[in-house]
């Protein structure tokens, strides 16, 4: 079926790429044309369905680069996950995927779940059995024995086990490999958040083995040692990148410059709940953490948007709040849109498929009532979400007058 969607402005994704009185022509799950309304309309067939949204904005569907669908964002998400059998956990994950779609997220990267369930969900959504975003799944993250998130099933003890676990994840349908380069806050016992779990040589084996099966590598790294090991190993994205050391922070400008030079993307994992951080960490420490992101960006590091949804208080139904974190840091709206569309797609290796409005790309797009270039909060005023060409009316669009 052909669909012609026109609006007051169409944003293709990259900053500055804006068409006034624009339109997008969609056939089944693909974008056929984008441009000025009259030009695109001239290409539409007789039976094309026309949806006109005067005063509204059309833009690419959003990408949340860091979620955990298996976690429920409660105070005890690990216990909540462990209490469930596969069926009830999968149903919960399906519901959370739908919440993401409801907030305009048409692609999400799951960075750690249990029993390959995110792959099952990915298939059900791709086949059209369930509404939800495109899912890229890391399956079980690699970690050391008793290390961060060991309970997800990715413990490795040596080089041989690193290789077999990367291969096993690939066989189980993983879209990428995730590795825990440092400890993490949610796991009881094991290395501390700032402590490295793997050497750079071990991480290099992960990257090598993943490359053999055509997969990218995302690395969880809070501590500076772990960040340095990941950069030396040549990973594709660094999650969190908090520059932690045993006693406070260890910030290394030359390492940040290397991240930029190597084209490694950083996903800070900004919770929708970020406004609470100054209360949790103290004003001064939170301000230092926030400033580190603009510092990295100033050194040329490319940041991408992600929520770490599923961990305590990182909900699935408030993606725009996590984008507002970047606005709070001073990034202009068109830059924030790039972080969650074109740049995110590039970081995830799916830039030929989604992340921008272009002919031949999958029809992942949003219609919002007002102008997100004025204020990113406008992304809450969703009228329509198209995910792989399938129309989805967010609940909010039905209650807004």
**Closest listed residue to residue 105, CA positions, set 319, 377, 337, 388:** 319
Q: Is 308 or 318 the residue whose CB approaches Zn ion more closely? A: 308
Q: Is 173 or 312 the residue whose CB approaches Zn ion more closely? A: 312
Q: Is 25 or 347 the residue whose CB approaches Zn ion more closely? A: 347
Q: Is 155 or 381 the residue whose CB approaches Zn ion more closely? A: 155
Least CB distance to Zn ion at residue 388 (A): 25
Least CB distance to Zn ion at residue 265 (A): 15
**Continuous H helices in 154-235:** 159-171, 200-212, 224-233
Q: How far is CA 163 from the centre of its chain?
A: 26
Q: Is 308 or 324 the residue whose CB approaches Zn ion more closely? A: 308
Q: Is 72 or 308 the residue whose CB approaches Zn ion more closely? A: 308
Q: Is 3 or 293 the residue whose CB approaches Zn ion more closely? A: 293
Task: Say whether residue 202 binds Zn ion (CB under 5 A).
Answer: no
First to last CA, the chain: 29
Least CB distance to Zn ion at residue 240 (A): 8
Least CB distance to Zn ion at residue 370 (A): 32
Q: Is 103 or 187 the residue whose CB approaches Zn ion more closely? A: 187
Least CB distance to Zn ion at residue 132 (A): 19
**Closest listed residue to residue 358, CA positions, set 37, 31, 1:** 31
Dist CA 223 CA 210 (whole Å): 23
Number of residues that bind Zn ion (CB under 5 A): 1
Burial of 109 from C-beta contacts in 10 A (0-12 / 13-18 / 19+): buried
Residue appearing with tokens 């961060």: 148
Dist CA 281 CA 370 (whole Å): 35
**Closest listed residue to residue 292, CA positions, set 232, 258, 252:** 252
Least CB distance to Zn ion at residue 237 (A): 12
Within 106-125, the residues that bind Zn ion by CB under 5 A are: none
Q: What binding mask, one character per residue, do residues 312-351 give for Zn ion by CB under 5 A, x or -? A: ----------------------------------------
Dist CA 26 CA 40 (whole Å): 10
- 178: which strand partners? 218
Dist CA 244 CA 225 (whole Å): 8
Least CB distance to Zn ion at residue 115 (A): 18
Least CB distance to Zn ion at residue 152 (A): 11
Residue 267 and residue 238 in contact, taking contact as beta carbons nearer than 8 Å: yes
Least CB distance to Zn ion at residue 68 (A): 6
Which tokens hold the place of 286? Answer: 């939170």
DSSP label of 311:
B
Contacts of 89 (CB under 8 A, 6+ apart): 70, 81, 114, 115, 117
Residue appearing with tokens 């900004």: 270
Backbone CA torsion sign across 165, 76, 66, 393: positive
Within 345-374, the residues that bind Zn ion by CB under 5 A are: none
Q: Is 185 or 253 the residue whose CB approaches Zn ion more closely? A: 185
Least CB distance to Zn ion at residue 96 (A): 14
Which tokens hold the place of 53? Answer: 């949204």
User: Residue with the closest Cβ to Zn ion?
Assistant: 308
Q: Is 102 or 308 the residue whose CB approaches Zn ion more closely? A: 308
C-alpha triplet 201, 206, 207: angle, nearest 5°: 95
Within 289-308, the residues that bind Zn ion by CB under 5 A are: 308
Query: Applying CB under 5 A, which residues contact Zn ion?
Result: 308
């Amino acid at each position: 079926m052909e669909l012609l969607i026109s609006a007051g402005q169409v944003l293709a994704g990259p900053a500055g790429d804006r068409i006034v009185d624009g339109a997008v022509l969609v056939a089944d799950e693909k974008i056929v044309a984008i441009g000025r309304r009259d030009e695109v309309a001239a290409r539409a067939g007789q039976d094309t369905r026309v949806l006109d949204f005067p005063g509204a904005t059309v833009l690419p569907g959003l990408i949340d680069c860091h979620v955990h669908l298996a976690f429920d964002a409660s105070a005890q998400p690990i216990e909540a996950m462990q209490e469930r059998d596969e069926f009830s956990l999968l149903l919960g994950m399906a519901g959370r995927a739908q919440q993401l779609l409801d907030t305009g997220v048409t692609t999400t990267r799951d960075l750690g779940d249990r029993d390959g369930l995110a792959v099952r969900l990915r298939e059900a959504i791709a086949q059209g059995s369930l509404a939800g975003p495109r899912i890229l799944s890391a399956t079980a993250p690699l970690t050391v024995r008793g290390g961060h998130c060991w309970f997800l099933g990715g413990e490795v003890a040596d080089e041989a086990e690193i290789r077999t676990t990367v291969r096993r994840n690939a066989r189980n349908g993983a879209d990428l490999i995730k590795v825990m380069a440092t400890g993490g806050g949610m796991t009881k016992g094991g290395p501390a958040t700032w402590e490295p779990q793997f050497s750079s040589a071990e991480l290099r084996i992960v990257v090598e083995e993943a490359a053999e099966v055509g997969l990218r590598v995302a690395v969880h790294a809070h501590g500076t040692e772990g960040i340095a090991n990941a950069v030396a190993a040549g990973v594709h994205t660094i999650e969190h990148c908090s520059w932690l050391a045993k006693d406070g922070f260890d910030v290394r400008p030359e390492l940040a410059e290397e991240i930029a030079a190597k084209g490694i993307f950083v996903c800070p994992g900004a919770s929708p709940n970020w406004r609470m951080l100054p209360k949790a960490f103290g004003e001064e420490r939170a301000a230092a953490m926030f400033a580190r992101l603009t510092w990295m960006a100033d050194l040329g590091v490319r940041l991408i948007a992600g929520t770490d949804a599923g961990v305590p208080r990182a909900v699935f139904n408030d993606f725009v709040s996590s984008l507002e974190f970047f606005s709070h840091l001073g990034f202009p709206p068109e830059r924030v849109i790039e972080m969650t569309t074109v740049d995110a797609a590039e970081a995830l290796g799916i830039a030929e498929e989604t992340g921008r409005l272009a002919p031949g790309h999958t029809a992942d797009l949003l219609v919002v009532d007002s102008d997100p270039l004025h204020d990113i909060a406008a992304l809450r005023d969703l009228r329509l979400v198209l995910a792989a060409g399938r129309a989805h009316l967010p609940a909010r669009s039905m209650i807004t007058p």
